[in-house]
Amino acid sequence: MAKTHPSLSLVCAALALGLAGCETLAVAGLKPSGEPATAAALVLPDGAAVATRSPEQPRSDLDLGKEHFRAENYGLAELHFRKAAEASSGDVEAWLGLAAAYDKLRRFELADRAYARAFKIAGPTPELLNNRGYSYMLRGDVKRASRDLAEASLKDPGDERIRNNLRALDERARRL
């Protein structure tokens, strides 16, 4: 007969009890019981509801990447954007999302590769120039940030995100 260890049983019981009310399960799409969550059961730790799907409606990696990025789960966003980019190498939105996730993770060398792929696909669009300019600003590279943001502004002078980034860059340059 196998000998049981009471301490192991206690540890397992304590873990099960702790996970029973864990919000992480809800974020992962599970109810505390381990069953798949319904749309109403998915809530982020800050209390914000997450748009979800039923199990019959699979979500694309691109959609999951966007959802995780908005929730500031940049590691998971990177994973899903990378899968989307690998599955469809011509999808500029996947490459742009991947670059932005790498920026948030401060993995700038990988962000540069993703921006390069996006530029190869779509060319220097205002959105790409703005995002890469913001990336350079995060790194403290005022010269390259200024170049990209100025070009983005010329292509789309009414874009408020570009104007905001130019203002932020100007403030940063004044502090230097």
Question: 3-state SS of the chain?
Answer: CCCCCHHHHHHHHHHHHHHHCCHHHHHCCECCCCCECCHHHCECCCCCECCCCCCCCCCCHHHHHHHHHHCCCHHHHHHHHHHHHHHCCCCHHHHHHHHHHHHHCCCHHHHHHHHHHHHHHHCCCHHHHHHHHHHHHHHCCHHHHHHHHHHHHHHCCCCHHHHHHHHHHHHHHHHC
Residue 55 confidence class, pLDDT cut points 50, 70, 90: low
Domain count, the chain: 1
Higher pLDDT, 157 or 8: 157
Q: Is residue 175 part of a domain?
A: no
* Assigned domain for 92 exists: no
Residue-level pLDDT at 58 = 74
Predicted confidence at residue 176, as pLDDT, reads: 78
The residue-averaged pLDDT of 65-79 equals 98
For residue 43, the enclosing domain spans 11-58
With respect to residue 157, please indicate whether it lies within any of the assigned structural domains: no
Is there a domain that residue 17 lies in?
yes
Whether 49 is in a domain gets the answer yes
pTM: 0.67
Report the range of poorest mean pLDDT among 1-5, 107-111, 134-138, 168-172.
1-5
Residue 17 confidence (pLDDT) = 42
